[in-house]
Amino acid sequence: MSIATRVRAYLNTHNIGYETIIHNHSHCSMETARAAGIKPEQTAKAVMLEDHQGHHLMAVLPASHKISLDRLGQQFQAEWHLLEEERLTPMFDDCEPGAVPSLGAAYNLNTIYDDSLANQSEVYLESGDHSTLIRLRAEQFAELMRRGQHGQFSNKAYH
């Protein structure tokens, strides 16, 4: 499958140069980082959230971290819960199930990213399948996230 149609179109429309990294099939972001031989802190994962009114938000954080819904709620005065996995497939219908790209803007989703990603020299995103990553330089990632909000809403979970 490689890069999802909407992700490729969004990157091309916004003139974002990128490289692809092919790796062995993986099932989670930590496994993806290991398979690709990159630091989990540089691997951005998407966590889909919903509020009580049905609004969606994509939270982007490092694979090595876990989201803190309490901290996110305190920072942005909203209450969020995780969106069920089966509800993601129709939203990301150009992706393999479970391979959600960390590029909410390509899917017209509000996005928030964790500040720890802004400190990385490179950031790697899921492409929409389980064996391809998109490699971005720090300034490219910043450009893609510039319309999103940011904050410190995750905790390091893996060493």
Residue 80 region, left (φ>0) first, then alpha (ψ -120 to 50), else beta?
beta
List, in order of start, the domains of the chain with CATH numbers: 5-148 (3.90.960.10)
Q: How far apart are the C-alpha atoms of 94 and 60, rounded to whole Å?
A: 19
Joined together, the tokens standing for residue 89 give: 């497939």
Joined together, the tokens standing for residue 5 give: 């149609």
Does residue 20 carry a pLDDT above 70?
yes
Average pLDDT over residues 18-45: 92
Q: Cβ(114)–Cβ(59) under 8 Å?
A: yes
Does residue 157 carry a pLDDT above 90?
no
Contacts 24+ apart (CB under 8 A), 39-43: 39/64, 40/64, 40/158, 41/116, 41/120, 42/120, 42/121, 42/122, 42/123, 42/124, 43/123, 43/124, 43/133
Average pLDDT over residues 77-85: 90
> Which pLDDT score, from 0 to 100, does residue 76 have?
82
Does residue 159 carry a pLDDT above 60?
no
Cα of 126 vs its chain's centroid, Å: 7
Average pLDDT over residues 97-123: 95
Q: Cβ(17)–Cβ(140) under 8 Å?
A: yes
Beta bridge partners of 111: 58
> Which pLDDT score, from 0 to 100, does residue 1 have?
52
Q: What is the pLDDT of residues 55-77, one digit of tens each?
A: 999 999 999 999 999 999 998 88
Nearest residue to 48 (alpha-carbon basis) of 118, 116, 95, 1: 95
Joined together, the tokens standing for residue 35 give: 């398979």
pTM recorded for the entire structure: 0.94
- Average pLDDT of the chain to the nearest whole number: 93
> Which pLDDT score, from 0 to 100, does residue 99 have?
93
Q: What three-state secondary structure class fits 33?
A: helix
